[in-house]
Each structure stands twice: as structure tokens, then as C-alpha cells.
Structure 1
Amino acid sequence: MAEGKPAIDKSAVRNAATVILWRDGAEGPSVLMGQRGAGAAFMPSKYVFPGGALDAGDAGVPLARPLPAPCLARLDERSAPGLGGALAACAVRELWEETGLVIGAPGAWPGAVPDDWAGFAATGRLPDAAPFSFVFRAITPPGRPRRFDARFFLARADDVAGDPDDFSQASDELSHLHWVPIAEARRLNLPFITEVVLAEVGALLARGGRSQSVPFFDNSGERPMFRRLGLG
């Protein structure tokens, strides 16, 4: 740790964003997943969707288009208001870092580009939040080595700029990146919450992708709660 910097409380709940990319296939809808390393502190060897923790700089990242208004409203429920844009930027950044895939629109960045966005900005695009739909939220239970307040965003492979099978720009954080039918994905080594999200997404896509509310596994208090966002 650098001198003068405070220690990071790894047990604290960190805001995070996850991207569920999907496309139609011969066996029904498929989703993009990858495997975490065996030595990872959080969910080692598990198959997951691309995603990660919110960076402080994500709040200042310019978006080509904002999230849809219903998503922004649901993101504000039981949360610090105004995080929606930062979470959408985080989702785009994590997708880029872990898969090399870009969800963005052509455009020049105004001002300086944050270091962790340099590779994305070099593609000549600004992150685009309009394709995202907020479909799930979960807070990691107490006692885990890492805890996140994760928001899951759904987007189509058609919204990717370029080839959705080209992972040549991906980092090494996820291995075995591939598109897998939802029915087959449930046979992978999955975290419990990912199994739940897959079931919800499968049901959502079966009814045309229209979400009446957003499931929320809330482990912020003494007792775990299952809530629905967007019912009011």
C-alpha cells in the first residue's frame, strides 16, 4: 500500500455493475459468460457475466446517450440518488475491459480521458447507456471476502459496435469467454445469484423483454429481504 493512502475496507459494500449480453440462437437465447480465475478472491473458478466495481471516475464519464428514464427511476429506489449514469458508465467500462466489446456511439471525448478509459476512447466512441435495461439488483451477503451492491444491465449483442465474437482486446480477468444458451449455462459452475439472474432473464426474454419490476436481493440489513423495485 502506498504511504499516506488509507487502507481499503474489503468488507464494505461497493457499488458495482454487471452486463448481461444476449442474442438469439438455434437453441434459444444465449448469454455471454466467462470464468473467473481459480486464485480470485471473489467467486474463484465461477462462470459469471462481465462486471465489476464502480470507479470514482465513472461519475464524470460523458455518455453518448443516457439510460432510459424508467431504468434511472428504478436505480434510484432504495439507493443513493443520481448513481444511474455512473453505474451505466461502469457497465460499459467493465464490458470493454473484460471482453473487449464496445457499447458506444461515435464521438470525441470532451477534455481529458481517465486512464482506465484510454483504451475505450481510442476506439473513437463514447459510452452509450441507451441500449441498457436495468433488470436485477443484488447485495452480497455479510461474511464474504468481497461485498457488492450489483446492478445487472441487459443489452442485445446487436448493440455491440463491431463483431460480438471478437474478444481479442479482452483482459485476462475472465477466461473461456463464450456465448452459451441459457439452458446450458445453468449446468456451468455458477454462483447462486447468477443462477437466479439467469432464471429471471430467461423468463423476461420469454415474455418479450418487458419488465414490470426489478427483483432485488437485499442483504443490507440484519435479515435478507427479497424486494421488487418499480412497483410504486
Structure 2
Amino acid sequence: MDANADKTALRDAASVLLIRGSGAQAHVLMGQRGSKAAFMPEKFVFPGGAVDATDRDIVLARPLAKSCRLRLSQGHAAPDALAVAAIRELWEETGLMLGCPGDWRDPPADWQGFAARGLVPDAHGLRYIFRAITPPGRPRRFDARFFLANADAVLGDLDDFSAACDELSHLHWVSLREARRLNLPFITEVVLAEAQARIEGEEMADSVPFFDNSTEVSTFRRIA
């Protein structure tokens, strides 16, 4: 990112709730941000981050489900880039890969780890479940989309975080029912509740919750 860019400008972002197990036994992968982080210091969060310019150029091995893509297109001109960013951030922050065998001609720097393993990012298993915009006045602001993904789709050891960068510490699998005991941002608590309801089989509306804080007036609606 340009060092002179406005760091409070609203940026598109994507996060992954990687789920291991099912029903009441489901666990989610979380990590803790550093104490000196400008955004949400010391909070436990899901792997995720801002969309990079090169994410628009990456070709997915398999696309998002049609319903997810249509909902993501409400507010974003390149919905595939959001899926690519989610997969890239998961890889960078945890070392875990959602991919399929495939070849790269000239992989960008962010994707050389994938390419070295003969993998191309795969969005087939991502499910779009939540959108939230950071309120004004924060040191960083994001228009964040949250995806569910089943850990069974990860290629490799689910407990091996040796390839992770140092952005998140204390990476661990935590029970969905216990996760809200951690030091969490408010929106993370809300997203966890939505994920738990979906995973434990409660009846859910066929839509995506959206906390819209793009202006001084906070609104809630659902993306049909």
C-alpha cells in the first residue's frame, strides 16, 4: 500500500472462519493480534485482512457458489477478489491452504508458497455469511466480508502453523461455544454467534447480515 495513502480510508477486506468438526463439537481457528497493532490490538480474531490490488488478477481453481457470488457483487465490482483475499490471508497468517492442484505461469510474491506446492486457490468451499463496515473514527476502517470454510478442505496438517507469518500469535482451535470467552472485538462476537447458529442447525434466514457503519448512522440489514 502507498505509504502516503489515507490509512483511515475504507478498504475492502475478507476473513475466514475455518471450522473443524461439526455441530456442538465444532472448533474455529483464531489468533491474537499484537499489543502494538494499530487495529484491534491484543484482540483475538479470525485470519483475514485487506484486499490487495493483485487479488483481482488471480484465477481461482474453482469459483464461489453462485449465491455467494451474487451477494458479494452487491457492494463489490470484483467478488472473486474477496474470495482470493480470504484464501491468501488464511495462508499468510496460518500457513494453511485452501487449494487444488494446478500450475502458475508467473505467481505474484504473495502466492509463491502456493505455487511451490503446485496449488491454485480454491473458493468452492467458501460460504459468505456476514458483512460489516468499521465505524468512523477508528484508526483503520474496513468493509469486511466473512466466510465460513470447512477445515476438511485444507491440504496439509491442521495443527502445523510453521509457515505462518507473525501477524497473529497464539493460533489455536477453540470451541465455538467457548470462543466468546476470549478477548474479542464486538463484531467478532456477533459473527461467531451467526456461525454457531448456522453450524448447530438453527433455522436461519436465506440472507447475509450486514452491519453498515459507512456513515455516522449505524444501520443493520440483510443481503438477500
Q: Normalised by the shorter chain, which TM-score bucket? A: over 0.9
Check 1:127–1:38 CA distance in 2 against 1; reply closer, same or farther (3 A cut).
Answer: same
Q: Which runs of 5+ in 2 are unaligned?
A: none
Structure 2: distance between partners of 1:32 and 1:210: 23
Match of 1:97 among 92, 97, 105: 92
Residue in structure 1 matching 2:150, options 156, 162, 165: 156
- Measured in 2, the distance between the counterparts of 1:23 and 1:172 equals 23
In 2, are the aligned partners of 1:135 and 1:211 still within 8 Å (CA)? no
Alpha carbons of structure 1 residues 160 and 38: separation in structure 2 relative to 1, 3 Å: same
CA deviations 1:63-87 (Å, max 9, x no partner) are 100100000011112x133x21101
Root mean square deviation, CA, Å: 1.7
- Distance in 2, matches of 1:200 and 1:27, equals 14
Pick from 27, 46, 49: which aligns with 2:46?
49
Q: Which runs of 4+ in 1 moved over 3 A?
A: 208-211
- 1:7 pairs, out of 4, 8, 12, with 4
Residue deviations 1:130-167, cap 9 Å, x none?
01000000000000000000000100110101111111
The whole-number CA distance in structure 1 between the counterparts of 2:137 and 2:67 is 33
Letter in 2 for 1:61: I
**Counterparts in 2 of 1:209 and 1:85: CA distance versus 1, 3 Å:** farther
How many residue pairs align between the two structures?
Answer: 224
Using the alignment, how far apart are the partners of 1:6 and 1:36 within structure 2? Answer: 22
Deviation at 1:221, TM superposition (A): 2.4
Q: Which amino acid aligns with 2:40?
A: M
CA distance in 2, matches of 1:25, 1:197: 17
TM-score (norm 2): 0.95
Aligned-partner Cα distance in 1 for 2:19–2:205? 16
